[in-house]
Structure 1
Amino acid sequence: MVDVTGHLGMALLFAAPAWIVWGRRAALGFTGFALLTAMLPDTDLILQGFLPVTHHGVTHTVVFVVMMSILAGVFAARWLTAWLNAHRWIRSTEIAAETVFIFATTGLVVGGTSHLFADILSAPDIAAPLEPLWPFYREPIIVDVIYYDSPIWNFGLIAVAIGLHLVLARYRSYPLDTRYRIGNRTGGDSDTTRRAAGDQFE
């Protein structure tokens, strides 16, 4: 495992494609969801005081991350859809609950998965190796190229990630036209039409 700084940096790296997929404003929200679950698997350190769980156990699996993300996504779709449609910052009144669910759940899965990936790169050093694909594959997956306390890796990850986000934020592009876009669509393929659609995210 890397420390908290490294995990946040890895989550930022995993969330970086959101600038292309979702557009500028939505990318910030997507990144926020990813950061929320960047430390989710380490809830086992808290649960150890109440439940018979071990560190790098069940909470460090893709199944756990996906299940928790889906539950949180359902909550977001139920309670955030109306708020997002009414928020001036979003500039849209057409966001469906399905879109909010996909948006939130994907962001949360990205954050949690980034944590597992970082731990695979660094365990075992001071903690047990992971079995991230349990119960489908019950063997540990070990790469072990990062040491937990390495400032180069931990601060390097977050520095590179922040730099990448700044570069993508400055690059003027338009989000992909998918059914899960955040913002009103406009028809046509002209530059004027595409700019109008892109401006909703700026």
Structure 2
Amino acid sequence: MGHVAFGLLFALPAWFVWNDRASVVFVAFAAVASLFPDIDLWLVKLFPGQVHHHGVTHTVLFVTVASLVSAAVLAALFTGRIDEWIESERFDRSQLFVFSFLGLLAGGLSHVFADMLSAPDLSTPIEPLWPLVDGSWGIDVVWYNASWINVGFLTVMVVVHVSIAYLTTSPDHRHRLLPL
């Protein structure tokens, strides 16, 4: 819940850049990608002793590469199809690639950032800047499994998103930064 809440936090600018449906897609990309670095929890089971939690999948490098590859796949699969659903926004392949990449990157980086704030109490330290910087980075601000914080933060982010969506999509209250 905490990772999805951070994904929603990092996706907030979408409401001020794209129209309502495009913003929903961007927020969905970020929310899904906010869980992706924890793929190492599955990889640990497949490759015991070779992979560990908070390892390579919790780095800026991994998140960036995974976002690039996933955005390329999404752009190849959905160019020309997504325009019907999004309506007023039109994405060619390169625009859809950048849009997808930014949404996925926002979600993935939100996960890494959230773990930097909470991971040292239950798990191995996180090394987000590996291989450029060797060593862990983190501040033990929040207890990792504090469900009241995770539920509370997720609730706040959902309320904030719904409120901003209402304010930015109402015909009388268009507050987009970029006129697309």
Work out whether the TM-score is over 0.5: yes
CA distance in 2, matches of 1:12, 1:93: 21
In structure 2, the residue matched to 1:12 is 8
Partner of 2:177: 176
Give the whole-Å Cα distance in 2 for the aligned partners of 1:68 and 1:126: 26
Q: Say yes or no: does 1:62 pair with 2:63.
A: no
> Is residue 142 of structure 2 the alignment partner of residue 141 of structure 1?
no
Does the aligned pair in 1 maintain the 2:4–2:32 contact within 8 Å? no
Residue 152 of structure 1: how far off its partner (Å): 2.6
Q: Structure 1 residue 90: deviation in Å?
A: 2.0
**Unpaired runs of 5+ in structure 1?**
182-202
Specify the structure having the higher radius of gyration (Cα): 1
RMSD value, Cα: 1.5
Residue 66 of structure 1 aligns with an amino acid whose one-letter code is T
For 1:106-185, list aligned pairs within 5 A: 106-171=102-167, 172-177=173-178, 181=180
Distance 1:32 1:15 in 2: 9
Amino acid of the structure 1 residue aligned with 2:20: R
Q: Describe the shift of the 1:81–1:176 C-alpha distance in structure 2 as closer, same or farther (beyond 3 A).
A: farther
Question: Which residue does 1:71 correspond to in 2?
Answer: 69
2:111 counterpart letter in structure 1: H
SS in structure 2 opposite 1:82? coil
Moved more, 6-15 or 167-176: 167-176
- Residues 23 and 174, structure 1, Cα contact 8 Å, conserved in 2: no
| Percent of residue pairs bearing the same amino acid type | 40
Contact 2:19 2:88 in 1 (8 A): no
SS of the aligned residue for 2:86 comes to: coil
Q: Does 1:91 align with 2:87?
A: yes
Offset of 1:175 from its aligned partner?
2.9
Aligned CA distance change for structure 1 residues 93 and 29 (closer, same or farther; 3 Å): closer
Q: Give 1:73's aligned amino acid.
A: A
Question: Is residue 27 from structure 1 mapped to residue 23 from structure 2 by the alignment?
Answer: yes
Number of residues paired by the alignment?
173
Q: CA deviation at 1:173?
A: 2.0
